[in-house]
Amino acid sequence: AYEKAARAAEGRNRPQAAESCLKLAFEAYKRAVAIDPQLTGAHYNFAHFHLRQRNYAKAREHFQEFLAAEPESDRADSVRAVLRELDGVGSVERACAQAFDAITLNREGEAVALLLEITEKHPEIWNPWFLLGWAHRRRGEYREGKEALEKAHALEPEHTDTLNELAICLMEIGEYEESHRRLSDAARLEPENPKLTSNLGILALRMGRTEEARRHFEAVLERAPED
């Protein structure tokens, strides 16, 4: 019931209400498996809950609990198939962590080579595309960064870091209006984020809008005086 209410709230564009319902659903599942750890239906449903939240480690844990109790049930084969998929996702997560470390250590070329391989095998997962775009952007490969970040954005339309990185790439290749649109979209999602406001100021300077840039930079200093 709580999950159904969360989906209804999401459909009505009420993210806070949806989040509250999801928290209630999580607590209800948690109580159910604590009261009776052998309640296989609860493990099965809790696993799918975690799957929808992209908490793949917890989804795997509860699917395994279900299989241990009901290895021959009608749902066992489908659960095994999901677990095989999760094994693939786990390998992607490990590779992404390796690529992230390489980027932060200024070894972006190493990260790009690794991420190109991941995105070819798993084009449906957003995180490798985001990391690939970030790595390209840091290398000054703005058109390649734009391409990767657009794919990440298509998979996760409301991820502000993706929008910000995409806007930087667009800015650097002279697509100022599109860059402004992406930064404005990100700022609507996180209006108090000084990084986004600062980049709007930089973009305004590039576009010759000095007074607009001043307003953005003053807004940044109000929120982050040490910047």
The predicted-structure confidence for 127-156, as pLDDT tens digits, reads as follows 899 999 999 999 999 999 999 999 999 998
* Structure-block tokens of residue 115: 């991420």
Q: What is the mean pLDDT of residues 166-189?
A: 96
Contacts with 32 (C-beta within 8 Å, 6 or more apart), sequence order = 39, 42, 46
215: left (phi over 0), alpha (psi -120 to 50) or beta: alpha
pTM of the model: 0.66
Straight-line distance from the first to the last Cα atom of the chain, in angstroms, rounded to the nearest whole number: 46
Would you state the pLDDT for residue 88? 65
